[in-house]
Every structure is written in C-alpha cells, then in structure tokens.
Amino acid sequence: MSASHGQKGSPVNASSKEPLLIVEGLRVAYGGIQAVRGITFHIDAGETVALIGANGAGKTSTLRALSRMLDAAGGSVRYLGKDISRLPPHRLVREGIALVPEGRGVFPRLTIAENLAMGAFTRDDKPKIARDIEHVFGLFPRLKEREKQLAGTLSGGEQQMLAIGRALMSRPKLLLLDEPSMGLAPIMVQKIFEVIRTVAAEGMTILLIEQNAKLALETSRRGYVLESGEITLTDEAEKLLHNPKVREAYLGE
C-alpha cells in the first residue's frame, strides 16, 4: 500500500464539522487491473449517501476496501478522524462500522436468532442486546415468526432483512449497504427500502451502494456517480434525480 498520510499533519477543524467518513484518493486493483481509480468522497454524520453506478463501475470494490475485506492499492480512509485503512477487518465493527454485504452473507446453518446474536458479537450487555433484537423484530416482523428457523431456509428478501437486522445489532455509527435490492422481487425491494428509510430517520449514517439508481437517490440526501472506477458526478440526490445525464444513463429515460 502506498497510502498518503498527509492528513495527520493538517490542522484539525472543529471536530463537530468533520465528516464521519472521509475517503481520499482510494484505489483498488486486482492484479494489474484498476477497479477503483482514486476516488474521493465523504459522508457526514446522520446523512444517507448513495454511491450509484453500472455493474462493474467499482461500487463493490469500493465497499470491500472500506470494510477491509481487501487491501486498497492506495489512498486514505479516515473515520472519526482516524485512519482505518489498515485495521484488520474484525476490528471495524468495534469502531462502529457495520456492513451488509452483497448477496446478504447470512450464516445459512445458524438460526435467525443466532444470526442476530452474531451481529452483536462484540457486545456484552445482554439486556440491551435483547432489547435490540426486539427492535429488529419490530422492523422486520417476518423474522420474529421464523426466529428458530435456519437462515438458509429463508427467501432472498427475508435473508436481506436478516442481514440488515444483523448489521444493526452491532449498534453501528455507520451502516454500509451493498446492493440491498439485488435479486429481490419488486415488492420486497420496497419493503427493504422502507426499513432503510426508517433506520435513516432514526439518525443512522448510511452509505448506500446500489445499481437501482432511482431508488437509491430517492432514499439518500446526496449521491455520487461512479463510472469505470472514477467519480464523475456528485450532487444532492434530488438534483441528481433530475440531472439529464443521470436520467439517461441510470434511470432508463
């Protein structure tokens, strides 16, 4: 890694103003092929930000680098003023970052209840964990009905609910969502996004990575458009929704 750490010396602004997450010049490469070519973006505390783009634009690579499932080839990732680009992956959740991975990644041979308990793996406060499980069941009543069932027996949509619920169980400060609509029936997509909006309204900071640009922008405050590994456009989500280029390329108009 050839990350630049120029950040450390720079004067610190009033900490309340600093974004929760600052990504600068992030690069991801597989062998010689650059999937992400030095992207820069930030997320303020409490906002939902969409990262949209076509298949292969580098969205999932970006998220994998953020969540430390792979090493970045360069750039820096600062979270709460701290460089997290070299933390081992299992430390991230302790810092308050939770990822809902692409394809859900539920543990198929653990029960729903156990999957949720895994989400709270780093916590020890049993009464609060129990309360949070009830909170998740409140968001997704379907999960409560199937509490003792193995997660592998759930439908794709239910697994997505479980994956989101599991991520919430760590009480994150930052929630990373990778393609939550992927492979789901439209009605299920609506339900999932309803919950995402509810969680956002409760004050959660969310980075939403989506191929479904319309839905993502409707759910977010701001958006970034990723094309061939570079951010080509950024604006308030509302404005991106009405941007002719975005409408043509991503909204199918």
Give the residues lining the site for another protein (CB under 8 A).
Answer: 67, 69, 88-94, 98-99, 101, 103-110, 114, 117-119, 121-122, 150-152, 159, 166, 170
Which residues, in sequence order, are CB contacts of 14 under 8 Å at separation 6+? none
Tell me the C-alpha to C-alpha distance, in Å, between residue 65 and each of 46, 70, 76: 22, 5, 10
Reduced to 3 states (helix: H, G, I; strand: E, B; else coil), residue 186 is: helix
As a whole number of angstroms, the distance between CA 47 and CA 174 comes to 10
Reduced to 3 states (helix: H, G, I; strand: E, B; else coil), residue 49 is: strand
Instruction: Select 8 or 91, whichever has its Cβ closest to another protein.
Output: 91
Pairing assessment for the beta strands 48-53 and 97-100 based on DSSP bridges: unpaired
Instruction: Select 48 or 67, whichever has its Cβ closest to another protein.
Output: 67
Burial tier of 74 (Cβ tally within 10 Å: 0-12, 13-18, 19+): buried
Query: What minimum distance in Å lies between the beta carbon of 68 and another protein?
Result: 8
Query: What minimum distance in Å lies between the beta carbon of 239 and another protein?
Result: 33
Instruction: Select 52 or 106, whichever has its Cβ closest to another protein.
Output: 106
Instruction: Select 89 or 138, whichever has its Cβ closest to another protein.
Output: 89
Query: What minimum distance in Å lies between the beta carbon of 29 and another protein?
Result: 18
Query: What minimum distance in Å lies between the beta carbon of 69 and another protein?
Result: 6
